[in-house]
Chain A
Amino acid sequence: FPGLADVSISQDIPVEGEITVPVGSQSPDDDYSTLDEPVKDTIMRDLKAVGKKFVHVMYPRKSSALLRDWDLWGPLVLCVSLALMLQGGSADSKDDGGPQFAEVFVIIWFGAVVITLNSKLLGGTISFFQSLCVLGYCVMPLTVAMLVCRLVLLAGAGTASFIVRLIVVGAMFAWSTLASTAFLADSQPPNRKALVVYPIFLFYFVISWMILTFTPQ
């Protein structure tokens, strides 16, 4: 390089300057960071999300918001309360009684996982946790039915109460199945919809059966 022959760099010129990256947007912190908000805001936000989903289940309309922001708080609360209400309070009888707490829990969660796997294996486009979320929230009508059954059983356990319980559980079973089908059916391939809906039907049927056959000691 002939042109550079006469360039000389002194060895002791200090390198100095400023190493700062200019900040692009001076946006306020609390738009993106929820770390500094009061705890009450955090809890209320989650509670409102859960409550909104309950309302969605009560009046099932196709809403993509429900599917997008999934959470499993609602299903957990529903499952635990249903399992607790199905305990007959007969801690001493080891005979064939109703389902134990763990059995109800396992049936609901394992059943929901199996149904979700089934719909994904058949080619569904819904994500795993979204499907779990929908199936869990749609247990809500059946939990309400369980509550009504326990109240009716407080009044008496005769044939009339059985007929009332049968009607209530039947109606809530239909509601649960229709609600979950309304949310889940769109994400399935069209010629396999029945294959996906049937396990959901079986799942809620088993839960309804457990509720209907509940007999307090």
Chain B
Amino acid sequence: IACFVMYLFAEFDDAANLLAANPDATTISIDEPVEIPKNQHSRLQEPGREEDDELLGTDDSDKTELLAGQKKSAPFWTFDYYQTFFDVDTYQVLDRIKGSVFPVPGKNFVRLYIRSNPDLYGPFWICATLVFTIAVSGNLSNFFIHLGKPTYRYVPEFRKVSIAATTIYAYAWLVPLALWGFLMWRNSKVMNIVSYSFLEIVCVYGYSLFIYIPTAILWIIPQRVVRWVLVVFSLCLSGSVLVMTFWPAVRDDNRRIAVATVATILLLHALLAVGCLAYFFDAPELDIPAPIIPAHNSTSKVVLEQ
């Protein structure tokens, strides 16, 4: 029993040393009960938020990768394995959403908010909300644009929901997959300091799509200028989150490849926004108010009568 107690004290000492050396890290010992990592997460959020402008930590990523590997210790066919991806509280999800909408220049979204606890809740439900928001807003916008025309009959356009779902979920999962594969490949050639796990990339992409939800609602306004201003604005915000996340991961590489990677990321993001705007929202037509051009009105009346 004395040996066991001494062993436990040794464990505590190690944990204390690790925490003192790097307040960033989360120490998890395998034989402790599961509740302790959660407490450590919530306790370590506070120093993490005040942690300032390091975009990357040289020893941070190693420990992060190691600990990320340690956490998912259940085999992948058990339910507990997937529960580790939903280990977030309400305030954490809200914080991550806030971080994606108000990107602070110089702070890396993954380092600051995800911190080796990537979750699948945010990406999945943000994508689901975005799908339905785009479909409903597109439907409403078309209704308001064509309202009043005698030949217009309202249709709910339910097909577009499946198209929206396919597009957005494919974007939110396949692009991170491709990006992760690309980064792994470059990592094998050039020793990058920062590398992300697949789930962290999915997380960043998922949360960066959040800004499109209010944008889609505002796209109901049938003004071309307003819509394009919104596109540019939301693209800047979510694009900057992505750029600030992925620039440290590629900047040690060949200059051209780094710039090309970041440009591709931004281009795909822009393509998604513009594509959704073009497909789901009809172009607002320029309406010529009848009283202003009476001559035009009378001639059109003559044409109709014929």
A95 to B155, CA, bound (A): 9
Q: Is A206 on the interface with B (CB-CB < 8 A)?
A: yes
Instruction: Give Cα A103–Cα B160 distance, bound, in whole angstroms.
Output: 12
A195-B93, A199-B125, A206-B132 known; A122-B158 Cβ under 8 A: no
In contact, B136 and A209 (Cβ under 8 angstroms): yes
Task: Kindly list chain B residues whose C-beta atoms are within 8 Å of the C-beta of A205.
Answer: 132
A214 and B157 CA atoms in complex are apart in Å by: 11
Residues in A neighbouring B121, C-beta threshold 8 A: 118, 121-122, 195
Cα A191 to Cα B88 with chains together (Å):
9
User: Looking at the complex, which one of B93, B132, B156 makes contact with A202 (CB distance below 8 Å)?
Assistant: B132
Q: Chain A residues near B160 (CB, 8 Å)?
A: 96
From A121, A195, A215, B155 is in contact (CB under 8 Å) with A215
Q: Which residues between 147 and 183 of chain A lie within 8 Å of chain B, taking CB atoms?
A: none
Please measure, in the bound complex, the distance between the C-alpha atom of A191 and the C-alpha atom of B157, giving whole angstroms: 38
Alpha-carbon distance A210/B161, docked complex (angstroms) = 11
A213 to B159, CA, bound (A): 14
Residues 150-189 (chain B) with a chain A CB within 8 angstroms? 153-160, 162
Cβ–Cβ < 8 Å partners of B70 in chain A: none
Instruction: Report the Cα distance A209→B83, complex, angstroms.
Output: 32
Cβ–Cβ contact A123 & B83, under 8 A? yes
Which A residues are CB-close (under 8 A) to B52? none
**Residues of the B chain whose Cβ atoms lie less than 8 Å from the Cβ of A209:** 132, 136
Interface size on A, residues (CB 8 A): 27
Residue numbers in B under 8 Å from A214 (CB-CB): 156
A193 at interface, CB cutoff 8 A: yes
Q: How far is the CA of A120 from the CA of B153 in the complex (A)?
A: 43
Q: Is B46 an interface residue (CB 8 A)?
A: no
Q: How far is the CA of A191 from the CA of B92 in the complex (A)?
A: 10
A96 touching B157 by the CB < 8 A rule? yes
Interface size on B, residues (CB 8 A): 26
CB nearest neighbor in B for A191: B89
Nearest chain B CB to A16 CB, angstrom units: 56
Within 8 A of B (CB), among A185-217: 191-195, 198-199, 202, 205-206, 209-210, 213-215
Q: Is B91's CB within 8 Å of the partner chain A? A: yes
| Shortest distance between the CB of A185 and any CB in chain B (Å) | 13
State the CA gap A120–B80 with chains docked (Å): 10
Q: Which residue of A lies closest to B129 (CB)?
A: A202
**Across the interface, which residues of A come within 8 angstroms of B136, CB to CB?**
209
Distance of A143 Cα from B27 Cα, bound (Å): 51
Given A96-B160, A98-B156, A103-B158, A213 and B139 touching (CB < 8 A)?
yes
* Bound Cα distance A130, B293 (Å): 66
Known: A98-B155, A192-B90, A206-B132; 15 extra A-B contacts, CB below 8 A, are A95-B155, A96-B159, A97-B156, A98-B158, A99-B156, A118-B86, A122-B86, A192-B88, A195-B88, A195-B90, A199-B125, A199-B128, A202-B128, A213-B156, A215-B156
Residue numbers of B with Cβ under 8 A of A are: 79, 82-83, 85-86, 88-91, 93, 121, 125, 128-129, 132, 136, 139, 153-160, 162
Q: Which residues of A contact B (CB under 8 A)?
A: 95-100, 103, 118, 120-123, 191-195, 198-199, 202, 205-206, 209-210, 213-215
Which 8 pairs across A and B sit closest by C-beta, in order of nearness?
Answer: A96-B157, A213-B156, A121-B86, A99-B158, A191-B89, A194-B90, A96-B159, A98-B156
- 23 of the cross-chain contacts (CB-CB < 8 Å) are A96-B156, A96-B160, A97-B155, A98-B156, A99-B156, A100-B158, A103-B158, A121-B82, A122-B86, A122-B121, A191-B91, A192-B88, A195-B93, A199-B125, A202-B132, A206-B132, A209-B132, A210-B156, A213-B139, A213-B156, A215-B153, A215-B155, A215-B156
